[in-house]
Amino acid sequence: MERTAVNGNLWWILILGGALTFLIRLSFIALQGRWQPPELLQRALRYVPPAVLSAIILPEMLMPQGSLQIGAENLRLWAGLAAMWVAWRTRNILLTIAAGMAVLYLLQWLF
């Protein structure tokens, strides 16, 4: 198995990441409604998933080898765009993944 730089600290990631996630989930249940999050915070948290996930998606599509690559030779860009269209039209996770991989394989086979 390939070793990565963080392998030695893997269990810290699991334990601390798990503990923090649990405490977030427990937070207001434990408080019994004695304190509600401020309205601004509630609105801000709504943007966390689209922001964080997009911050992973775009670099994966636009810089697959680590540097910006916008053009016909970047197959992942086109496969990703196709997947976006399918996601928008069908809202189906499986179809989106299947379409993206199908386009990627097709392009790899063609070029």
Partner 1 sequence: MTAASSSSPAARADFWAGVRAELPILLGVTPFGMIYGVLAVKAGLPAAAAQAMSSIVFAGSSQFMAVQLISTATPVVVIILSILVINLRHALYSASIAPYLHGLSRAWKVVLAYLLTDEAYAVAITLYQKKGVIPGSPWFLLGAGLALWTDWQLSTAVGIFLGAQIPAAWSLDFTLALTFIALVIPNLRDRPSTLAALSAGVTAVLAHGLPYKLGLLLAALVGILVGLWNERR
Supply the minimum distance, in Å, between the C-beta of residue 24 and partner 1: 5
**Residue from 32, 65, 110, 111 in contact with partner 1 (CB under 8 A):** 32
Write out the DSSP string of 49-92.
HHHHHHHHHHHHHH-TTSS---STT-HHHHHHHHHHHHHHHH--
Among 65, 72, 73, 83, binds partner 1 (CB under 8 A): 83
Taking CB under 8 A as the criterion, the residue among 48, 65, 71, 110 binding partner 1 is 48
Residue 63 interacting with partner 1 (CB under 8 A):
yes
CB of 30 to partner 1, least distance (A): 6
How far apart CA 82 and CA 79 sit, in angstroms, is: 5
Tell me the backbone φ, ψ of residue 65, rounded to 5 degrees.
Answer: -105, 15
